[in-house]
Amino acid sequence: MVIFSVYVVNKAGGLIYQYDNYVPRSEVEKTFSYPLDLVLKHHDEKVIVSFGQRDGIKVGHAILSINGVDVMGKNTADGKDILEYLKDPANYPVSIRFGRARLSSNEKLMLASMFHSLFAIGSQLSPEVGSSGIEMLETDVFKLHCFQTLTGIKFIVLADPRQSGIDALLKKIYEIYSDFALKNPFYSLEMPIRCELFDQNLKSALEVAEKAGNFGAGS
Amino acid sequence: MKSNLKLFCSHAGSSAAGSCWRQEAKMTVHNIYIFDRNGSCLFYNEWNRKKQAGISKEEEFKLMYGMLFSIRSFVSKMSPLDMKDGFLSFQTMNRARETLQHIYSNLYVELVVKNPACSPAPSLDSELFCSRLDAFIRSLPFFSPRAA
């Protein structure tokens, strides 16, 4: 089983550390003739599929490369608008690679602060007295586990839904954070963590957790 | 369930969160929200709700819908893979899914959608639906409130 990524969010909702442990690649390359049988649109400086799923190309996939050359956002490598380029029959047949768009660091910052407020709303709308915020959020392809320390720092781990032992992993990450980030004299509180020892220890903790917890009861 | 309707049910969850959702003895049904695709709350009922949100119900429905809407977009961006169903639940138990499906297909569709007298919006006023839903929730094996 796998652990996808780790986020550390400070008490103000700022992302202070992010690590992608495993990014599954679901990419499809296909050669198209004119006219294109997919509906494409601009979205967040990317060109994504808005209609027409086929051959593993899904709605929401972004164009990653055209004729083997990586695209630059919504433009082709030589600066032309992708949608304009694909409108021209002279450019066909064309080979396009589609896949899930990778998150930019800005998007990661945004998602981290979004989770920060979702966490707070979750606890406000709770029907029980003294409830914490979201500790586990489940989807069909991953589970998000969140551990908030008493000082308000949130450690977030995205893992396969079947991965077990995440509670222990979150505690371990907290320990690594206190040992290698907080005890580092060059680290200023609430700021992004850039410590090599923190990186190394986190990576080995993830490896240990992946090996140890497969299909265990509960997570 | 196709997306013109969102059901959201608060189950379990207590101060000692984290571990409680695994202990079935502690389960109960707190309350239920039914939202339409535009975010207006069609139906709300509560059974064992210990804490009110401290805002008016109208505000609470907006906040709840906003949270669910944001979670859906959050989850779809955060996901490392393509998803089929997307967001399922947070901090809850697995059986809630079947329960919600049942409420949608056997109660909502049967008693509201198939009832020509019941207009689809803005809120559900079918007495039959309310009483059946109440009876169904009360019959759930994990309904009985904890001795608090």
DSSP codes of every residue in A19-79: EES-----EEEEEE-SSPSSEEEEETTEEEEEE--BTTB-TTPEEEEETTEEPBTTB-TTS
Give percent above pLDDT 70 in chain A: 97
Measured between CA atoms, the residue of chain B closest to residue A120 is B67
- Hey, is the C-beta of A114 within 8 angstroms of any chain B C-beta? yes
Tell me if B142 sits within 8 A of B28, measured CB to CB: yes
Contact A198, A177 (CB under 8 A): yes
**pLDDT for res B36:** 86
Who contacts B96 (Cβ-Cβ below 8 Å, separation ≥6)?
B9, B11, B89
By the 8 A CB rule, do A205 and A179 touch? Answer: no
The tokens for A94 are 């064309």
CB contact under 8 A, B78 and A118: no
Which residues on A lie below 8 Å from B77 (Cβ)?
Answer: 103, 107, 111
Q: Which helix (DSSP H) or strand (DSSP E) does residue A97 occupy?
A: strand A94-99
pLDDT at A215: 47
Q: Which domains does chain A have, with CATH numbers?
A: 3-23+104-212 (3.30.450.70), 27-99 (2.30.42.40)
* pLDDT surpasses 60 at B22: no
Contacts of B83 in chain A (CB under 8 A): 139-141
Residues of A in contact with B51 (CB under 8 A): 126-129, 131
Which chain A residues have a beta carbon less than 8 Å from that of B70? 114, 117-118
Chain A touched by B121 (CB under 8 Å): no
pLDDT at B23 over 70: no
**Does residue B93 carry a pLDDT above 60?**
no
- String of DSSP letters for A109-161: HHHHHHHHHHHHHHHHS-SSTT--S-SEEEESS-EEEEEE-TTS-EEEEEE-T
Which residues from chain B sit within 8 angstroms of residue A126, using beta carbons?
A: 10, 13, 51
- What's the average model confidence in pLDDT over B8-19? 42
- Domains of chain B with bracketed CATH: 6-12+25-139 (3.30.450.70)
Residue in A32, A17, A28 with CA at minimum distance from that of residue A184 = A17
Q: Which residues of B touch A129 (CB under 8 A)?
A: 15, 50-51
What are the backbone angles phi and psi of residue A96, rounded to the nearest 5°? -120, 135
A167 touches B: beta carbon within 8 Å: yes
Q: Which pLDDT value is given to residue B12?
A: 46
Q: How far is CA A123 from the centre of its chain?
A: 24
Quick: pLDDT tens for A102-160. 888 999 999 999 999 999 998 888 888 777 888 889 888 899 999 999 999 999 999 99
Chain A closest-CA separation from residue B84 CA (Å): 7
Cis peptide before A35 (omega within 30 of 0): yes
Q: CA gyration radius for chain B?
A: 16
β-bridge mates for residue A138, sequence order: A143, B89
Interface mutation target, options A125, A136, A167, chain B, most CBs of B under 10 Å: A125
How far is the C-alpha of A172 from the C-alpha of B71, rounded, in Å? 27
- B35, B73, B82: best to mutate for the A interface, most A CBs within 10 A: B82
Q: Does the structure show a pLDDT above 70 at A65?
A: yes
Whether chain B has a CB inside 8 Å of the CB on A127: the answer is yes
Total count of residues recorded for chain B? 148
Specify the pLDDT at position A53: 86
Average pLDDT, chain A: 88
Q: Does B97 lie at the interface with A, CB-CB under 8 angstroms?
A: no
Tell me, what's the pLDDT at B26? 53
CA B13 to chain centre: 14
Chain A, chain B: beta-carbon pairs less than 8 Å apart: 123
Q: Considering the entire predicted model, what is its pTM? A: 0.80
ipTM above 0.85, yes or no: no
Neighbouring C-alpha atoms within 13 Å toward the C-beta of A127: 22
Chain A residues near residue B148 by CB distance under 8 angstroms: none
Cα separation values, A128 from A2, B27, B79, Å: 33, 12, 29
Flag the least confident range among A65-79, A178-192, B10-24, B79-93. Answer: B10-24
Take residue B84 and report the two structure tokens written for it. 């089929």
